[in-house]
Amino acid sequence: MQCFYNLEVSSLGTFGLVWRVENTKMKIIKIFLPTDKNILVSKLRDEYSLAKRSDSLEEITLQVKRFISGENIKFNLGLLDLDICTDFEKKVLMAEYNIPRGYVSTYSRIAKKIGNPKGARAVGNALANNPFPLIIPCHRAIRSDRTLGGFQGGLEMKKKLLENEGIVLSNDRVSIDKMYY
């Protein structure tokens, strides 16, 4: 299976999209959040082929950029190759995807929602390995004590994304009560 990549510049830095084509349809298999551009280019170049632009790629790229800049975007999950995830990861990602803009949830609440009430740590691990950050907005998951927890793009990016959605932070804690689940 041949996979392709492209790099895109956003207000938070350069991010990478990786996809494959299945039955003439693009399926995203990974989104790399902004990091050092040279490291990102090296990582992508070693594993994937640089691709030409396409209408599908242009559309999703524009949506990701608009999301990063604070617009309310609900992404089409049909573009994602969710088959690369385990059943448990899919449950976690779908629960996370359904958290509305401007709300957060905790790892333990998500675990209860998907029927695994003692699985907060497993939920955190699934979100840490989320292949589709931003499209599956894992920045909306926080710890039960309202601290931020982790994020693939770093805590500064998580703060920025939450603030773009109107979430108020005080001393790196979510200070409003817009809890989901």
Token pair of 112 as six digits: 């209860």
Ramachandran class of 41: left when φ > 0, alpha when ψ lies in -120 to 50, beta otherwise: alpha
Active-site residue list: 138
Is residue 140 classed exposed, middle or buried when 0-12, 13-18 and 19+ CB atoms within 10 A define those classes? Answer: buried
Q: Could you write out the DSSP letters of every residue in 59-96?
A: HHHHHHHHHHTT------GGGB-GGGS-HHHHHHHHHH
Give residue 53's Cα distance to chain centre.
Answer: 22
Residue 20 is classified by DSSP as E
